[in-house]
Every structure is written in C-alpha cells, then in structure tokens.
Amino acid sequence: QVDLVQSGGGSVQAGGSLRLSCVASESSSSTGCMGWFRQAPGKEREGVGAVRFDGRTVLAESLKGRFTISQDENKNELYLHMNNLKPEDTAKYYCAAVGRWIPLAQRLVESAYTYWGQGTQVTVSS
C-alpha cells in the first residue's frame, strides 16, 4: 500500500503559476512510476505527466512548454510545475503511483495506476 498526500493548488488568474506536490509513503524506486492526472467538470480524467523510477519523464503534448514534472532526490515527492495557466487548466488534479514498471504508452493512462492521492483543485480565472 502506498499513501499519496497532495498539497498545493488553489485559485490563480490566467497567466499565473502554481506548483502541486505529492508525497508518497514509499519512494518511486519501489513504486515504479508516479504521475499526475486531472479531471475537469463533465470531462474524463486525463493524463498530465509521469516520472519513472529512473527519473525519465513524459508529459502530455498539449502541456509541453507550460507544465513540467519533477521529483525530489529521494524519489518520494513528486511535483507539477504549472506556468502560464489558462482557464481551461481548471480541474481537480490527482497524483497517482503504480508499483511496477509500465510501458511509456501507458504512463498517461488512468487504468495503469494503482494508488491515488486525494486530489486538489486548481481554478484559473480569466
């Protein structure tokens, strides 16, 4: 069992920045992969980015240039850095982890993950 506790988020005007954090009860060397997802009202949950146990990251194409994902040296804290935020980024953001290797094609797929954080709301106003 891996517990994920999220922090950060909140409300910001368009063009602003926020950072989300997710602390895992175990390091990703044992979790395999950690990722961020988001779900806007009335929409399906979508993958934002993920980092594998060896530090390799993947980010949704539409978010490149504005969002980055990183991990601390101990590999038990995951970050999502969001810049130049837009109203369409408004969503509840979730941290996720899985305790095994998953292929690149699945790292932004919700069903590939086992453990989930409680979610944190990000609201971007125009």
pLDDT tens, residue order, the chain (126 aa): 889 999 999 999 999 999 999 999 876 665 689 999 999 999 999 999 999 888 889 999 999 999 999 988 777 899 999 999 999 999 999 999 998 888 888 999 999 999 999 999 999 999
Torsion of CA 94, 95, 100, 101, to 10 degrees: 90
For CA atoms 78, 41, 122, 88, give the dihedral sign.
Answer: positive
Strand partners, 71: 78
Rg of the chain (C-alpha set): 13
Q: How far apart are CA 125 and CA 91, in angstroms?
A: 12
Q: How far apart are CA 106 and CA 90, in angstroms?
A: 24
Average pLDDT, the chain: 93
Q: How far apart are CA 115 and CA 3, in angstroms?
A: 7
Identify the pLDDT of residue 74: 78
Identify the pLDDT of residue 80: 98
Q: What is the pLDDT of residues 81-91, one digit of tens each?
A: 999 999 999 99
